[in-house]
Structure 1
Amino acid sequence: MSVEASSPAPSFESRVHATLLGGALGDSLGYAVEFDAIGAIHAKFGAGGLTSFAQLDGGSHFSDDTQMTLYTVDGLVEALEWANDGVAADEIACLWLAYLRWLATQDVAASSAAPVPQPRWIDGQEVLRHRRAPGNACLSGLASGEMGTAARPVNPDSKGCGTVMRSAPFGLVPHIPPQAVAKLSMDAASLTHGHPSARLSAAAFSLLIHHVIAGHDVRSAATRALQHVEALPTKAPELMERLHEALRLSADGTLLGPDELTAALGEGWVAEEALAVGLYAALATAGGSPEEHFRKAVVLAVNHSGDSDSTGSIAGNILGALYGEECLPMEWLEALEGPEVIRGMASRLLAVTTG
């Protein structure tokens, strides 16, 4: 039975806020253990691993995953602002400019060939101006000063997870068809990563969010996203393999342990692995209240030897989109860094899409 069949469907507004907040929560919990092996996580936090923000003595911080997700929102908002004023705008150019502004927050200079973007509200938010282990391909691709395209992407061999972890917002734009969601996310991925798996993982993730927002449960949404991506002319067999395996493993009723998880789906450092782990966590932990499901999914997604912030972020995005704000644990939100900035970006997206 789907969630929607047993409880009132959350509003679109609640889903948008929760997608961004949920992703930030998963990112923040995972960032605390991003580079730790599971043995080190258990040694520090006990046999159950990291299960709560209360275990973090130094407070919580989100990573480049949330930073770039919010800058993705801002690029979309700028393009939609132009459109609402009756002026045609190049959405990918707006996203490129947004990512160049993010690059500046990392104290990395772009090539003199790159344009100098005009500052926007998001650029004045001090909480975003921290370097939190940004991906090398994101930095080098943007610093090149070249606007990568599908035909001529920068970093053509890179398939790091820096594309997929920032792509949930493409699924939050209402009233556009799945084909447009996929194209937007793939073209935006080409700004920093050129490998087909990086680009198609971004498409699969944004399509999954798109279908969840439209009212489908996570498994149905993932299946629809997979079918769409499989029909595209560009192919990434490793992505198809990982996603099919995530769907299969999550259906057998037995939770994988941390080592089993990474052995089956990967550690999450590359795009298809991060998406597969985040999807598996969201599916395999279903049951209980929305808040219980969210907690279990994020905990599973971050407690492994791998890219814990990205896998946690993806799981949090998915369940935020599914349930809306009712799934977000209050004490986790109270520990979250910069919630007013995250909500501010959600409100800006809603203002240009729903008025």
Structure 2
Amino acid sequence: MDFNFTEEQEMVRDGLSRLVREQYDWETRRSAVESDAGWRPEIWAQLAELGILGMPFSEEDGGFGGGAVDAMIVMEEFGKGLVVEPFLPTVVCAGGFLKHAGTDAQREEHIGGIVDGSRVYAFAYAEPRGRYDLADLQTTAKKDGDGYVLNGHKAVVVGAPWASHLVVTARTSGGQRERDGVSVFVVANDAEGVVRRDYPTVDGRRASEVYFENVSVPADALIGEEGGALPLVEQVADEAVAALCAEACGAMKVAHAMTVDYSRQRKQFGVPIGKFQVLQHRMVDMFTEYEQSVSMTYLATLKLDAPEKERKRTASAAKVRIGQAARFVGQEAIQIHGGMGMTDELAIGSYFKRLTILSSEFGDVDHHMKRHIALA
């Protein structure tokens, strides 16, 4: 199998790497995260101008004919710079729903806005008692004439404070945890009855608790089949998992490089701590975890088009391996840096926080281990 990237993909990687390096340095990122907005809309506009937001979409939808591998490249570079702009919820998640199940009218309306950067989306799927079960929904969507009325509460909706629209999972029929009866809707973030409580997350992003109080949406807000959308939700979630694995690889690579560099500068007993063999072994272990994570990320990305069972098992296997590796690399980096590694003065603390959150986003290690075993 050929694992070489195309010339176009390498050009995109180089250009995006330069953008992150030159315009997303540590101090600039920290200033953006601590600002009232919490992100840099000008960076989002620049990503649109460079075609990054349109890469994974087909040319028929106004994109550039890429796919999951292109999204993987972008997410890895974003991981290196701890980019907070909402590429995952907007392009990977919302874009995934529209690509796989959107009508022609829906794709024309929404994907065009994603590609040109005028629309930002958040994926409202998690609920306070859901425990990573995508079918465990108390949010309801009841028929009302030609449309629907939504009621419920979605937790930790990442990117919602910046979003123009929300992609919402809701139950249109069936019991709370039944596979049948799950539907997906696009809802304007400023629709009447949508109430948000916004807050910063520990890893520097922004999220919201979103409450739907008799929110009316038209019939064309429904994406895919009414009551039969759970396989679609699972497919998009697996695509998000693969993208998160790529982001984790980028963050681990930088965390390892920072740790090696610090070990060459920090002296103890008159010599750099990098001279101590026990620390050398630990940094080699960090590098090994990173390399294994890259391999698993490639596998998960390439298997996104495989049959459902194979796709699910591979995505879960990757999430387990990368979740373990992210936790290990982050903790080892902090251990070698010492207590000052957790201060805001050093970037490594933020990499540790992001890697810790990445290990649990869209399902933690235990959840995906159980899922992988159940699919055996």
TM surpasses 0.5 = no
- TM interval, shorter chain, is under 0.3
Q: Which structure has the highest strand share of the two?
A: 2
Q: Which structure has the highest helix share of the two?
A: 1
**Higher RCO (CA 8 Å, separation ≥ 6 residues):** 1
